[in-house]
Amino acid sequence: MAKKSYTLIVVPDHESPVKRYRVQKSLFLQIGGGLLLLAGLALGATLHYFQVARDAAENRILREENLTLRSQLKTVRERIEHIGSTLDRVERFDQKLRAMTLLSDPQRNLAMGPVEQEPGVGAPAAETQFTELTSMESPKALAGKLDRLSAEATRQEQSLQEMQAYFQDQKSLLASTPSMWPTRGWVTSDFGQRLDPYTAERVSHGGMDIAAPHGKEVNAPSDGTVVFAGLEGGYGNVIVIDHGYGIKTRYGHLSKLLVKAGDRVKRGALIANVGNTGRSTGPHLHYEVRVNGIPQNPRKFILEE
């Protein structure tokens, strides 16, 4: 069978003769197949280029994110080290305060008072528990350290709250302890045994007599609540202040009462005037300090010169 072919007729301009070219059909098929192959290769190369370009962009973004995460991870490590060091210092300070205030903490085996370390025993584990961080720690390891830091911070907070309550109580006790002269004058009769000015017999004197001009101010030596203000036998006009913690002060022979029962007074507040009421030989203030009902020497409580 003869091969199929096509005749290509070329008609030139002017008077040139017409030219005929015979082209086999298979040649057209080969040319078409070649063109299709080239088109496929071009399309594949184009798609591959865009894929590579997209992957390169994604890789660049991932590299940038990786650098950012590394920087953030370094910052987290540094913060953990800082927090751990801070908690170590707080731990040591807490132990010192407890040693000074004789507060015990059974949870951490801290007895009352300072505890000496045995020879050869290193620093407490708390001092290095949170500061040994390596640069290759995984996020999981960091999460574990953060959990331990959180637990340590919670325990420290509870401990400091206990210390705050203790010092608050001590502050209240100091504010309630008589520590100043109720009035200025001359001590004519001290605490203890003395000769009664009326009978000349030796008797126990439960307070201190301070001679002062009539009408001189009498001030509260500490914070408290007035529990009595009125006449009381041979002491004449009397004021009694309850300072809490079992401490009460009494002021006798007053000329004028400037407070009444139920009043709250602060240290240094004006409460009365020196007088000569009751069984008295002259203007003076009879001043007593009682702890749980037992008279105490007022001089032990006066910090002023």
Q: Which amino acid type is present at position 254? A: L
Interstrand relation of 270-274 and 217-219 (parallel, antiparallel or unpaired): antiparallel
Q: Residues 95-124: pLDDT tens digits?
A: 776 665 656 555 444 443 433 444 443 434
Q: What is the DSSP string of 244-280?
A: ETTEEEEEEEEEEE---TT-EE-TT-EEEEEB--SS-
- In three state form, how does the secondary structure of 84-117 look? HHHHHHHHHHHHHHHHHHCCCEHHHCECCCCCCC
Residue 126 CA to residue 123 CA, distance in Å, equals: 8
Within 13 Å of residue 209, how many CA atoms lie on the same side as its CB? 20
286 within 8 A of 209, measured Cβ to Cβ:
yes
The total of other beta-carbon atoms located within 10 Å of residue 298's CB is: 23
Residue 91 CA to residue 82 CA, distance in Å, equals: 14
Report which secondary-structure segment, H or E, holds 20: strand 19-24
Residue 137's pLDDT is 60
pLDDT less than 70: residues of the chain: 1-3, 97-140, 194-200, 305
Strand partners, 11: none
Measured between alpha carbons, how far is residue 159 from residues 19, 103, 105, 151, 289 in Å? 111, 11, 8, 12, 36
270 within 8 A of 147, measured Cβ to Cβ:
no
Residue 270's pLDDT is 97
**Which runs of E-coded beta strand occur in 109-246?**
186-189, 192-195, 202-205, 208-211, 217-219, 224-231, 237-244
Residue 265's pLDDT is 95
Query: In sequence order, which residues have a C-beta less than 8 Å from that of residue 298 and are 6 or more positions away?
Result: 178, 191, 207, 208, 287, 288, 289
Residue 134's pLDDT is 47
Task: Output the six-digit token pair for 195.
Answer: 């000769």
